Amino acid sequence: MAFITKITSQQKNAERYNIFLDYGKGEEFGFGVDEHTLIKYGLGKGKELSDLDIAEIRTGDEIRKAYNSALDYLSYRMRSSKEIQQQLAKKEFQPETIQEVLYQLDEAGLVNDSRFAEAYLKTQMNSSGKGPDVIRQELIQKGISPLDIEQALSLYSHEEQLDEAMKHAEKFLKKNQSLSTFQVKKKLEQLLVRKGFNFSLVSLVLQSIDYSNNQDQEREALARHAEKARSKYKPENGFENRQKMKQYLYRKGFSIEMIDEYLNNPDEFIQS
């Protein structure tokens, strides 16, 4: 048994208090608590505490510290249960303390993985235009259950996915006008898959693009690549050099017909 001999506020944190105890051998520091714990357990000078009382108070105060840490973490944005668990583990709270905090947060409606998944989906759609496959993987990493993930993704309609994918395609085409049509299709497909759109939707996007608008840019691109390569391959110096030049341009994604047209009459290629 011990008696509380003194209670003082902490110098570095006025919201926490130092509890001093006497076990019969003189005053000594016992433990620290916040104001909530101080009031909850009715701590005051002269109060008698058993070892069990002290253990309960310390456990309760540790839960309070973890709970307040979680609230601070939540103040910036919504979090998943796993994110909170990982954050509290970094703060070196014990697993049983973390589980109690997660239970209290759930009871208070402050953590809900289903709502989190829906909010995360909307944020990613609006801010980055990510496709459902990427969002699914990110939610898995955040510890969201498969059921909650699929319920959230059901809100991402096919029309919205197509709209976001087309936005990416339009930006890509504006920035890559020097590519051949073959390269445009290949690189755009890779981009949209990386963004998280499935192959059937990507195929639909690729089919809907009018590549005829790219023909002039493609001819200009071929001419630029060819001019850079002429000094190396010298196609005018014989069949073998001409074939090497053709292979180089073909690897760049240009058609054989367009390459032959250039090699046969490079001076009139752009004007034709």
Q: What are phi and psi of 100, to 5 degrees?
A: -65, -40
- Pairing state between β 48-49 and 2-9: antiparallel
What pLDDT is stored for residue 214 in this prediction? 62
For the chain, the average pLDDT equals 91
- Quote the CA–CA distance of 101 and 51 in Å, as a whole number: 24
For the segment 205-211, the average pLDDT, to the nearest whole number, is 85
Q: CA 10, 12, 15: angle at the middle one, nearest 5?
A: 55
Residue-wise over 33-46: b if at least 16 C-beta within 10 A, else e?
bbeebbeebebeee
Chain centroid, CA 88 distance in Å: 20
Domain boundaries defined on the chain: 1-49, 55-111, 113-153, 158-207, 215-268
DSSP letters along 42-108, please?
T--TT-EE-HHHHHHHHHHHHHHHHHHHHHHHHTTS---HHHHHHHHHHTT--HHHHHHHHHHHHHT
Mean pLDDT value across residues 206-212: 80
Say which CATH topology domain 113-153 has.
Answer: Arc Repressor Mutant, subunit A (1.10.10)
With a cut of 80, say whether residue 73 has pLDDT above it.
Answer: yes
Domain 55-111, CATH among 3.40.50.80, 1.10.10.10, 2.60.120.260, 2.40.128.120: 1.10.10.10
How confident is the model over 187-194, as a mean pLDDT?
A: 96
CATH class for the region spanning 158-207? mainly alpha
The band of 27, judged by pLDDT with boundaries at 50, 70 and 90, is very high
The answer to whether 113-153 and 158-207 have equal CATH topology is yes
The stretch 147-163 carries a mean pLDDT of 96
Using DSSP's 3-state secondary structure scheme, residue 41 falls into coil
pLDDT (0 to 100) of residue 269: 78
CA torsion sign, 61 to 67 to 70 to 72? negative
Rounded average pLDDT over 23-52 = 93
User: Does residue 179 sit in helix, strand or coil?
Assistant: coil
Does the structure show a pLDDT above 80 at 210? no
CB 254 within 8 A of CB 219: no
Terminal alpha carbon distance of the chain: 101
pLDDT digits (tens, 9 = 90+) for 130-147: 999 999 999 999 999 999
